């Protein structure tokens, strides 16, 4: 009987570790307002320590579907989205490359360089951009989640960039994933109940 309890404990710990190993959600995207993209920081911490020019910025991979159009940097409505280690200049811009479905956010600080520190808050603030209807539909039909890399302005840059975390579209239909402590707690509760039955 002790061997089975040990196996259950190991399985619970393995589930906890695999859940913990998943990238942290650092940016939430709201597409609930037509022709508008709002991106907000979460309390997620950076997975990497990196720095670079905010002229290059950071990339949200797979943001658009294949019908996307090239997006310039003139659509800012309002915002103070920035890497948490930097002060926002209040004018973050968005951009997409012709051959890349990612969304690049750049020129968001007047600091000499943007910085992310592993284990520390990745982003702060939020930004809102007015976009064309074609761009909005392309975002709606995009992947709904992906990785965030910095410094990177296109998929071509991610080989030399750091994985900061993940982004995801928020919506009412979203079901949050259980946290690591919740999974571990359920495993331990199962062990305790099993022991009481014996």
Instruction: Say yes or no to pLDDT of 41 above 80.
Output: yes
* Stated length of the chain: 198
Question: How much is the pLDDT for 24?
Answer: 94
User: Of all helices (H) and strands (E), which one includes residue 50?
Assistant: strand 50-52
Q: What percent of the chain has pLDDT over 90?
A: 55
Q: Give the chain's radius of gyration (CA, Å).
A: 20
The mean of the pLDDT values for the chain is 80
Question: How much is the pLDDT for 116?
Answer: 98
Q: Band the pLDDT of 132: cuts 50, 70, 90.
A: confident
Burial (Cβ within 10 Å: 0-12, 13-18, ≥19) of residue 46 = buried
Provide mean pLDDT across the span 34-58: 96
Q: Are 144 and 168 in contact (CB under 8 A)?
A: yes
Question: How much is the pLDDT for 95?
Answer: 84
In order of 124, 145, 171, the CA distances from 133 in angstroms are 27, 20, 20
At 28, list the tokens. 């939430």
30-44, 68-82, 154-168, 175-189: which has the minimum mean pLDDT? 175-189
Residue 78, phi then psi, degrees to nearest 5: -165, 160
In order of 36, 87, 175, the CA distances from 54 in angstroms are 23, 12, 33
70-74, 80-84, 132-136: which has the minimum mean pLDDT? 70-74
d(CA 79, CA 57): 16
Question: How much is the pLDDT for 97?
Answer: 77
Instruction: Say yes or no to pLDDT of 91 above 90.
Output: no
Provide mean pLDDT across the span 2-25: 50
d(CA 152, CA 47): 15
pTM for this one? Answer: 0.75
- Other C-beta atoms closer than 10 Å to the C-beta of 139 total 24
Provide mean pLDDT across the span 151-177: 82
In order of 62, 65, 93, 124, 130, the CA distances from 79 in angstroms are 23, 25, 10, 11, 12
d(CA 12, CA 101): 38
At 174, list the tokens. 């979203």
Q: Band the pLDDT of 179: cuts 50, 70, 90.
A: very low
Q: Are 53 and 161 in contact (CB under 8 A)?
A: no
At 88, list the tokens. 């926002």
């Amino acid at each position: 009987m002790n061997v089975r309890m040990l196996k259950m404990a190991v399985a619970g710990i393995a589930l906890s570790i695999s859940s913990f190993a998943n990238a942290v959600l650092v940016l939430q995207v709201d597409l609930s307002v037509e022709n508008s993209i709002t991106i907000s920081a979460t309390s997620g911490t950076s997975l990497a320590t990196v720095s670079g020019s905010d002229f290059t910025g950071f990339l949200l991979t797979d943001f658009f579907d294949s019908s996307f159009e090239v997006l310039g940097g003139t659509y800012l409505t309002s915002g103070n989205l920035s890497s948490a280690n930097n002060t926002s200049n209040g004018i973050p811009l968005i951009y997409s490359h012709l051959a890349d479905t990612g969304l690049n956010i750049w020129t968001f600080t007047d600091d000499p360089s943007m910085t992310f520190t592993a284990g520390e808050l990745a982003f702060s603030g939020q930004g809102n951009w007015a976009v064309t209807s074609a761009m909005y539909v392309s975002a709606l039909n995009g992947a709904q989640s992906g990785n965030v890399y910095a410094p990177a302005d296109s998929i071509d840059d991610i080989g030399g960039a750091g994985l900061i975390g993940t982004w995801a579209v928020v919506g009412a239909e979203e079901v949050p994933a259980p946290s690591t402590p919740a999974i571990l707690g359920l495993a331990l509760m199962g062990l305790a109940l099993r022991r009481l039955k014996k």
